Structure formats: structure tokens, C-alpha cells
Amino acid sequence: MNALLQQAPSWGNTLWFILAAVILLAVLLGFVTYAIYFERKVIGWMQLRIGPNRVGPLGLLQTVADVTKLLLKEDTRPKHADKALFTLAPILAYAPAFAVLAVMPFTESIQFADLGIGLLYYIALSGITVLGVITAGWASNNKYSLIGGLRSAAQMISYEVPLVMSVVGVVLLTGSMNLREIVEAQRDVWNIVPQFIGFAVFIIAAQAELNRTPFDLPEAESELVAGYHVEYSGFRFAMFMLAEYVYMFGMGTLITILFLGGWLPIHPALGFIPGIVWFVLKFSLYIFLQFWIRATMPRLRVDQLMSFAWKVLLPIALFNILLTAVVVSYQNGMF
Amino acid sequence: MSEEKRRPTPEEKAQAAAEARAKAEALRKLREQEEQGAEAAPPAQEEAQAQAADSQEEVAPVAKPVSEMTPEEKAAAKKAAAAEAIAKAKAAKEAKESAQQGDGASSAEGADAEAKAKAAAAAKAKAAAAAAAKAKAEREAGGSPADGGDDDAKAKAAAAAKAKAAAAAAAKAKAAQATGDGAEAAETPKAPSKNQPYLDKYVLRITEKFGKEVLEASYINELAKEVPTLVIQNERWHEIAQFLKEDGQLAFEYLSDLHGVDYEDRMEVYYHLYSYKNRQSLAVKVKTSREQSSVPSVMDVWNGANWNERETFDLLGIHFPGHKDLRRILLPDDWVGYPLRKDYVQYDEEV
Amino acid sequence: MLGLAKGLGYTFKKLTEKKVTHFYPDVPFPMPPRFRGIQHFSPEKCIVCNQCARICPTECIQLTGKPHPDPDKKGKIIDTYDINFELCILCDLCTEVCPTEAIVMTNNFELAAYSRDELYKNLKWLDDNNTNVREEN
Amino acid sequence: MNQNILTTSVDTSSENGIRTEEMLLNVGPQHPSTHGVFRLVVKIDGETIKEAIPVMGYLHRGTEKLAENLNYTQIIPYTDRMDYVSAMTNNYVLCHAVETMMGLEIPERAQFLRLIAMELNRVASHLVWWGTYLLDIGAMGPFLYAFRDREMILDLFNELCGARMTFNYMRIGGVKWDAPPGWVDKAKEFVQYMKKELNNYHQLVSGNEIFISRIKGIGKFDTSTALDYSLSGVMLRATGVKWDLRKDEPYCIYDRFDFDVPTATEGDCMARYQVRMAEIEQSLRILEQALEQFPSEGEVIGKVPRVIRPPAGETYVRIESPRGEIGCYIASQGKDKPWRLKFRRPSFTNLQILPTLLQGESLANMIVILGSIDIVLGEVDC
């Protein structure tokens, strides 16, 4: 893929790009389908239910049926909604979530673009999602979605700060923003060990970034019914849903890369197992953690959420930077 | 019932309960017979019977709170007297029955004839003493939210005063008690309710302050677990309500229920008050006409009256002047008529 | 954090515990013997005493009788008997008052229909509804 | 609709020149957290509630009006549908009122069955509350755990009276069914199971820091306010009043059993949560004793006249339902139908304090406070 990127643009390689993107999209859709299935199953099991089991064998086609239903639904739009923005919002939410995957190295060879500032690219693009959410909240002409939109704007912007701060430690350790290099730097020990504080902050902030329990305030179905996408249905709603899970995919990938050593095996002796398997394993672990938390936790209140971000997480993240900086300086012989 | 029954030891209690049951059984049989005979008898008679049975059944429930008493209080007291008490109670019941049949409205204030007055006074004294003791016991049993210490003392004093006032009759009653003979006890008509002294106290407090005319009637409602009931003049109700709540001795700080009843010739609003300080209930009724029904709002006295008054307005059309936000609560704002009125006609028959 | 961890531990333990889901439409749901389901009506037992119609709190029972075909016999026999299951609350009072157990409860409870009209059950339907009839009434 | 809430004010005078506007938000009648068809019109400034007006009556069926044309036995099924989460206490309050008027004696075994049914129902009701409250706060798991355990109670009821929620179990003078063979043992088993499960509940939720931070100090009021607003049940006990009609005005046979009245003093949502959880424990205690002492034989319905005609007059009785003090007023004219029947519904009365509690709270707290009152809309609207 990198070789393709170096070539001069032509019809041929453009087609290749499109094809690769389509393949990635298909993989993603597959992931989303089964992430939802997995989520429902896991939460069901934890709640002593058996989860989806009626569509297809073991209920494996449940999500397919759901999505088909969503696609077949009538495209409704509230009467006084802002037409243009209402249409734009799901795209605005989905596109960056998809675009961030371009820089993710899934294994040594499977990567679309090896950017020197991959991490920065990710952070910059993922910040756009909030625009989609707030646009949706505004354009729907619904008070619940407005409140939901504003809540999520506040929340996502607030948590972006500790999220970014928490990875600075990793960047300091590695000395690079290139995701591939970050993984390679974890050959000896995964970042989760030296950067545990950063990892903890990142996990929490990521949870908030993804609007998932216990930070699912923008959607908070018991308060705001469905938050910013309360007026969306059918295909547009599917876009939001997709954005949410794709974003989760992105976040899972990032966490695996930054802290869990990407495609590296637990022990070099296990290196015969292909990197992609390791990657998927670690990644699934994170996804499982998501669902596990969702099955257990209640939701925070919005003011608690904000003060938690600014008064707890941010100081911890800053402290982590300081600590890492001191340690790194010490190792480099500055003291 | 006689006070002896109100403070038994647990074993006695069980025994008493069993006896009460047996008695109630007998009584019911009797009543059933009578009912067959006189299906169309005047309601007063039926009521009297039911009341008798009712208060008899009451024995067990009444006895219960005392189970929390300390052993000293359960005390020597009435153990020996238990048997005779039962006999007497039975006799008293019969007497009451006849008495009530005699004067259907005997429950109304001041209706007692001269002959009965004596006996009633005696009974009152007895009950008052018992009540005082019981109040004490209850207080000591603990759990009162508010400290009712000195108020309790006052109540006791009042009871004592009353006892004195009825001295002669009381003495006579005591004599009767001493002999403890069923035949003689039959002379004591109508065992007074355990709540009689409370009722007297309420009446006294209110008439002292507002004069006699504000009370249209006062009686013990035997059907409702002997709750003292006052019928209060519509015009003065608001200030009396205020007094009922704020007076140190009455302290009815809790409004349990409020609702209206359409009696076809009049409307009544029923209030059930409770005093956590004194652990006493009080029922108040305020009458109003059907055509222009209005009862002063007590929302500013008890905030809990707010929705209940709205509901009463909604369903019965009784207006509560002074209510801050009197509008329909259960039915839509544009509903026609007041459904709980007896002459209400559905405008939509199809439903 | 301890509370959160405890909670997570609890849910994790539940992950492998036995599930409580019933496979209802596939496996019929057994109801206890006293269950109050749709009534079964046996016309031969009915003496047209009207008690069920009178006790019904929602007035969902309508019945008519006709003279006994055998002129020697006194009394009536049932002609029509309808229960409107739009109204019926399955409160069990009709079966309680019936002196001859002509109307009894069954354990059948599936009443869903596509049309409201189907909820009017007539004598024949109620007579045919004779499976899982309740023993004790 | 109140006119004054419809006017929202626009504030242009803020120092930085930002124009802010109050907003009317319609919460309900279809809203996940109003526990039925209940509507709250809230005027909000940002997420802060300025004023809240409850609107109800969507489930008003006119039970009291209907009852005037029904005889007493026929009313019992209607009471099932008032507080459908705890129908046994509703059954009982009506029967108790009529029995008080008529002076009926209830057989021992029937008393026990009634008490056991009511206490089981109290546990079931508190379980529903626990589950839905946690659901309101955003935790999904507890809801299903609570409902699984409640299901066991409903199964017990199903065996006892043939219905899971609308029991129609009690009759004037007793109960309809005797306990089926083996039922008491099953109930005993359940009590032991539930005791264990209750500890699990505490493990799962009670120590959860997020949960505690959500409910601590929220929706606070003191004893005098509670009394002023006629609050009862847990709402009152959570402010420190040790008052339980089961203990203080014993009915049925509650005086024979040993149990405590749990109270808390803070008067906030946390206090109410703790009191309710402790109440489950106490109910289990009562159940344990009652099932142990359950008489081996006896009648389940007393001698009752064929036509129930309470004497002319009126009565008002109150008992402790899981939600508070449920009362029943009957005005009788000596006929077989009540002249006027009125239920004092604890949900309705307890809800009165809501507008006051909501003032100045945030939207998220609104749900927490509303949930902690524990209303059942069937009862509010009657």
C-alpha cells in the first residue's frame, strides 16, 4: 500500500485505492455487525439471558436483520428541521470515524498510510465527529436532541484534552508519533507497564469519547430518550450507529497499538502465531471490557462528568507527562 | 372496652384474642338470625349491632401497641381482673346495643339523657385514666418523632380533671367494678370508646377557643376503628384547621386523606388527620351545599391538601377558595361535569 | 474504585451462570393448576342462573336461555353465551359463583388476534376450548 | 395547563451580551423514566430546572366511580389494577375496610396467608423499584437481576392464586385459595434464596461509587416538610420518622412478628435507597417467621353473609403498602354497593412534593428524584 502511495496518481492505482477502501469498509461492516451481536450476547449472558438467538443459527444474523430493517424504513425528517444540516450530520459523524482508520497499522504489512504523525492525524480527525453530533442535535429541531448535542459537545471536547495528554507519555517514551514506530518500540515491554497511569486515563477518556457507559450522557436514554439522534431513523440512524461502532473500532485499534503492543506476541517464543491474530485478540479484549462495563455501571451526571475530566483526569494526565519526562530525561542522562 | 383488656401480657393477649373471637362468633350468629328476621329494620339498629361487633373485634388490635411496653408497665395490674373484665365487657356490649337502639343519634354531642349521663361520666373517667396510662406507655415505648413529654403531662392532667368532675359517678362505677358481677355491670351502659377522652379533649380545646357553634357535631366513629370525628362549620374551618395543626396539644401536623362525598342533599369533605406527636387520629367533616359547594382550602395549612383538593374539585366540583392552583388534575381541562356527583351524566355514552 | 470492581466481579461471575430464558413459543409455558386462563364453557351443565353475568365486574358475559326442549322438564337451557375478551379481565369471579361448574378456567392463555372481532368468543368456541381445564374451581 | 409556565423569559442582560432563553421541555407522557404515562412540563435554563409542573390522569379509569356501581366482591379485581406492582396490599385495604365496618372475624390461616402474600408482594415491589431505579440511573444489569428474582415471587403467586400480577386473591372475610401443597416450603426456600441474593445486590450496586455520587444528597427534605406534604412510607421514614403502620397501628397479624422499622435521617435519595433495601430484609424476616408459624390447617374464609352489606356509616382504614400509606374510605348506605369509595393512594400523595424538589435541580437529577419517590402510575391516576 505504501508503495502505491509513492506512485504518481493514475487510473490504475486510484482503482486500487478504491478497492482497498471498499475492502476495509466491508471488514468494518462485518466488524460492526458482529460487535453488535457480540455486545448483545455478552450483556445478555451477564444478565442471565441468552441474547439474540432467533435469526439464523445462534442468532448470528440478528444484526443483519436489524440493519435490513433500518435500510428499508421510511426516511423521515421532522417538519421544521434544518434540511441541509439534518442530512449532513450523519455523514459528518461517520466520515472522520472511517477516515482515521487509514493510518492504523493492523500488522506490519496491513496498513494504508504510514504517516509520520499518525497519532496526531487520528486525534485531529476524531475531533470532527463532535461536529456531526452537535449538528445533528441542532438540526433536528428537538429539545432532547439539542440538549444531547450540547452535552456531547461539552463532553467530547473536555475528554479530548486528557485523552491527548495521556498519550503524550507514550510519545515521549517512543520519541515518535508514527504509530508503527510506537508498536516497534514495545518489543521489550508493552507500554501498558511503564505508562500505566496514561493507560488508565486513556481508557477512561476513551470511554467518554465514545459516549459509552458510564459516560453515555449524550444518549442517556433514561433522561434524554436518545439524545442527539432522537429524531433520526432508518438509514440516517444507521449511519450514527455505524459511526459509533466504527469509532469504537478505531479506539480499540489505537489502544492496542499504543499500549498493548499492537501485533506483537506476548512472548517472542509465541511469534509463530501471525501478528493479525495477536492484534485481534488484544483488540477483542478491549471491546469485551467495553461491554462488561456497560453491563455493570450506572451513568454519571453531566456536572460530575465535567468536573471529573478537568479536576481529576487532566491533572493525572499532566502528572503522567511530568513523570515520564523526568524518567526519560534521566535515562537520557540529563541528570 | 374496659381498660383491663388493653394491657395484658402476651399470654393473656392470646387468650383474650381467642375469647374475643369466640364472642364475635356468637354475636355474629345472633346478628345473622336477627338479620333474617328484620331485613328491613331501621339502619340505626343494624348499625348498633355492627358497632358492637366491631368494637368487640377491636379488642385484639387495640391491645397490640402495648406489646411494646416494658414489663413493669404490663405489671401486676389487671391479670387477676381479666376474667371479670371479660364478663363485664360482654354485659356492657349488650347494654350498649340496647342503648344505641334507643337513641340512634346518641353519638351526637350532648344527646345523652340524664340517666345515661352518670354512667357515661363514669365510663369516661375510667377511660381517661386508662388513656393516660396508655399514652404514657406508648410514649415510653418510644418511636415518637416529636418530643411530646410535657404535652403528655397536660393530657394526663386533663384526663384527671375530667375524672374528678365525674367523681360521684366514678365512685359508683368503681363499686360496680369491685363487685365485678355481670348482673351489676349490666347497669353500666355503653362501654365508652378508648378514644372518648381524646374526643372530649378536642372538643374542649376547640370550643374554648372558637365557641360552641363551630362544632356541628362530634362523635366517635365506631365503624372506622373508633376515630374521633368532628363536624365543623364550613365558614370557620380554615382557622380551625390552622388551630388543629398549630395548637400544642392537638398538633395534627399530618393530613392523611382529604376527599369529598356527595350525599345528594349535601356535599361533605372528609379529612383524616394524624398527630405524630400524640399518636392520635382525628376525622373532620365539613359540609357544604351541592349547588354552590365550596369549602375553604387548607392548602396553606397542610401542603398535602394541594392535590387532594384539586382531585376533589375535579371529580366532585367542590370549590376550595384559597387554593393557589385549583384546576382539574385527573381529567382533561375541557371535561364537562363532575363524574363523582350522583347526578352526573356521561356526555359520551359510547364509552 | 472498590465498589466498581466488586460490581464488575459480580457481572463477570454471571457470565457463565445458568440462563433463565424460557424458550416460550417453541416450548409451551407450563402454568400451575390454578392458573386463570381463558374460560371453558360446557352448555350441558349450565342452568341459566345468570350469576356469572351478574358477578362479572366488567360486564363482558352475555347469555340468553331458552325453555327446555323436553316439555316435562322445568327450567331453561342455554341458548347463547358470549364472552367479550376485549373486556374480560380473567378475574375468576364467574367461575367462583357458578353453581354447576359450567364455566371453568383453563390453562390456555393465548388470546392475541389480528382483529378485535375475533375477541368475541361464542358458546361454540368456549365449549371447544376444552384443553387444560382447571380441576379446582 | 398552567398559563404561567408557558411563558419563558429571554434574558438579554447578561454581562457578556449573550442572549439566553428558557426552554420548555415536555418530559412524558411517553418517556422511558416516568414509569408509565406521566408527564412533567419543565421549564429549564440550560439543564437547570426552573419550574416543573406534573400533569397526570392519562391512566385515569375512574375506579372510584365504577366502584359505586359494583358490589364489594366485584371491586376487588379493580383494586388489583391500581397499584399493579403490589396488588396484594390493595386487595387487603379494601377487604380490611369492609371487614372493619362489618366486624368480621378472619380465620387464623387466612390471616397468615394474607400476611405472607402481602410481604412477598412488598419484596416484589421493592425489587421492581430497585431494578427500575438503577435503570433510570443508567445501569442495565440490576434491572434484570431484580426481575429474575421477582419472577420467582410471581411464580409463587401464580401457584397460589392463578395470576401473576392481578391477583384478585383476597375476599371479604378471608382469601380465595388455600396454599397449595408444598407452597409454603417453596416460599421458605425463596426467602432463604432472597436473603443471599440481597447481599449480592449490595455487592453489585450499593458500594458503586458512581451510583453513590448520583444519589447522595439529591432530593433532600426534612421531617417537617415531609409531614407537611403528607408523605408516607419510605419517603417519611427516610427523614427519620420511625413510623410504620404495620408496627404502630397493627393490622392483620403483624403484631405477632418481630421486625424493625428501618429509618434513615438524611432524607435524600440515598436514604430512601437504604431504607428500601433494609425493608426488603425486614420483610424477609417477617416472612421467615410467618412461614415457620404457618398453621397446619384451618379455614381460609370466615363466616361471611352471602350478600355483603356493611352497615350504614363511613370508615377509613389505612395500611402500609410498599409505597406508603394506602387508605380506603367507604361511605355505605347499608347497601351491597358502596355509596362512595375512595382510595388514598400513596403514590399520588407522595408525588406532590416533586415540583418542590425539582426546583433548581438538573435534568439528570430529575430522573433520580422521580425514581426515588417510587410511583406507580396506575395508582396515581386511579
What is the set of domains in chain C, with CATH numbers?
35-136 (3.30.70.3270)
Domain containing D14: what range? Answer: 10-55
Q: Does residue D275 lie in a domain region?
A: yes
In tens, the pLDDT along C52-81 reads 888 888 888 888 888 888 777 777 888 888
What does the pLDDT read at residue A60?
A: 86
What does the pLDDT read at residue D7?
A: 66
What does the pLDDT read at residue B44?
A: 42
ipTM for the complex shown:
0.81
Asked whether residue D132 falls in the same domain as residue D25, the answer is: no
pTM (predicted TM-score):
0.78
What does the pLDDT read at residue A230?
A: 83
Output the domain CATH number for residue B228: 3.30.460.80
What does the pLDDT read at residue B98?
A: 46
What does the pLDDT read at residue B22?
A: 57
What does the pLDDT read at residue B350?
A: 56
Residue in chain A closest to C1 (alpha carbons) equals A297
Say whether pLDDT at A329 is over 60. Answer: yes
Q: What angle do CA B315, B319, B325 make, to 5 degrees?
A: 90
What does the pLDDT read at residue D14?
A: 59
Q: Does residue D370 lie in a domain region?
A: yes
Asked whether residue D67 falls in the same domain as residue D51, the answer is: no
Asked whether residue D237 falls in the same domain as residue D360, the answer is: yes
What does the pLDDT read at residue D11?
A: 65
Phi-psi region at B126: left, alpha or beta (left = phi > 0; alpha = psi -120 to 50)? alpha
List the single residue in D162, D204, D208 with the smallest CB-CB distance to C34.
D162
Structural contact between residues B309 and B285, judged by C-beta atoms closer than 8 angstroms: no
Asked whether residue D350 falls in the same domain as residue D293, the answer is: yes
What does the pLDDT read at residue B72?
A: 41
Chains in contact with B, counting 3 or more C-beta pairs less than 8 Å apart as contact? D
Asked whether residue D136 falls in the same domain as residue D40, the answer is: no
Asked whether residue D255 falls in the same domain as residue D361, the answer is: yes
Task: Output the nine-digit C-alpha cell for D152.
Answer: 420467582
The bridge status of strand B227-232 relative to strand B280-288 is parallel
| Percentage of the residues of chain C whose pLDDT score is greater than 90 | 1
Q: Does residue D3 lie in a domain region?
A: no
pLDDT by residue for chain D (382 residues), tens digit each? Answer: 444 556 666 666 656 667 777 888 888 788 888 777 888 888 888 788 888 888 888 888 888 888 888 888 888 888 888 888 888 999 999 998 888 888 888 888 888 889 999 999 999 999 999 989 888 888 888 888 889 899 999 999 998 888 888 888 888 888 888 888 888 899 989 999 998 888 888 888 888 888 888 888 888 888 888 888 888 889 888 898 888 888 888 888 888 888 888 988 888 888 999 899 999 999 998 998 988 888 888 888 888 888 888 888 888 988 999 988 899 999 888 888 888 899 998 988 888 888 888 888 888 888 888 888 888 888 888 7
Chains in contact with A, counting 3 or more C-beta pairs less than 8 Å apart as contact? C, D
Asked whether residue D244 falls in the same domain as residue D279, the answer is: yes
Q: Does residue B68 lie in a domain region?
A: yes
| H or E element that contains A20 | helix A11-46
Asked whether residue D51 falls in the same domain as residue D115, the answer is: no
What does the pLDDT read at residue B81?
A: 40
Q: Does B304 contact D344 at a Cβ distance shorter than 8 Å?
A: no
Give residue A2's pLDDT band: very low, low, confident or very high (50, 70, 90): low
Q: Quick count: other Cβ atoms within 10 Å of Cβ A159?
A: 27
C/D Cβ contact: 3+ pairs below 8 Å: yes
Helix/strand/coil (H/E/C) assignment for every residue in chain B: CCHHHHCCCHHHHHHHHHHHHHHHHHHHHHHHHHHHHCCCCCHHHHHHHHHHHHHHHHHHHHHHHHHHCCHHHHCCHHHCCHHHHHHHHHHHHHHHHHHHHHCCCCCCCCCCCHHHHHHHHHHHHHHHHHHHHHHHHHHHHCCCCCCCHHHHHHHHHHHHHHHHHCHHHHHHHHHHHHHCCHHHHCCCCCCCCCCHHHHHHHHHHHHHHHCHHHEEEEEEEHHHCCEEEEEECCCCHHHHHHHHHHCCCCCCCEEEEEEEEECCCCEEEEEEEEECCCCEEEEEEEEECCCCCECCCCCCCCCCHHHHHHHHHHHHCCECCCCCCCCCCCCCCCCCCCCCCCCCCCCCCCC
Asked whether residue D21 falls in the same domain as residue D122, the answer is: no
Q: Does B304 contact D231 at a Cβ distance shorter than 8 Å?
A: yes
In tens, the pLDDT along C33-58 reads 888 888 888 888 888 888 888 888 88
What does the pLDDT read at residue B157?
A: 46
Residue given cell 424460557 in the structure block: C22
Interface probe, candidates C92, C106, C134, C137, chain D, greatest D C-beta count within 10 A: C92
Q: Does A49 contact C20 at a Cβ distance shorter than 8 Å?
A: yes
Instruction: Please give the tally of structural domains in chain B.
Output: 2
Q: Does residue B43 lie in a domain region?
A: yes
Asked whether residue D136 falls in the same domain as residue D221, the answer is: yes
Q: What angle do CA D12, D18, D20 make, to 5 degrees?
A: 60
A275 or B33: which carries more pLDDT confidence? A275
Say whether pLDDT at A88 is over 70. Answer: yes
Q: Quick count: other Cβ atoms within 10 Å of Cβ B51?
A: 25
| H or E element that contains A243 | helix A234-258
Chain D positions in Cβ-Cβ contact with residue B307 (cut-off 8 Å) = 348-349, 351-352
Domain boundaries, chain A: 1-72, 81-332
pLDDT by residue for chain B (351 residues), tens digit each? Answer: 443 334 444 444 445 445 555 555 565 655 555 555 444 444 444 444 444 444 444 433 333 333 334 344 444 344 434 444 444 555 555 544 544 444 443 333 333 344 444 444 444 545 544 554 454 444 444 444 444 444 444 444 444 444 444 444 444 444 444 444 444 444 445 567 777 888 888 888 888 888 888 888 888 887 877 888 888 888 888 888 888 888 888 888 888 888 888 888 888 889 988 888 888 888 888 888 888 888 888 888 888 888 888 888 888 888 888 888 888 888 888 888 888 888 887 766 554
B168 or A234: which carries more pLDDT confidence? A234
Size of interface B-D (CB pairs under 8 A): 165
C/B Cβ contact: 3+ pairs below 8 Å: no
Q: Does residue D343 lie in a domain region?
A: yes
Q: Does residue B4 lie in a domain region?
A: no
d(CA B11, CA B34): 35
Domain closes at, from B69, B91, B115: B115
Chain D positions in Cβ-Cβ contact with residue A296 (cut-off 8 Å) = 139, 141, 204
Q: Does residue B229 lie in a domain region?
A: yes
Residues of chain C whose C-beta is under 8 A from some C-beta in D?
1-4, 6-7, 9-11, 14, 20, 31-36, 55-57, 89-93, 96, 105, 134
Q: Does residue B139 lie in a domain region?
A: no
Output the domain CATH number for residue D336: 1.10.645.10
What does the pLDDT read at residue D105?
A: 86
In tens, the pLDDT along D291-304 reads 888 888 888 888 88
Asked whether residue D158 falls in the same domain as residue D16, the answer is: no
Domain containing B258: what range? Answer: 196-316
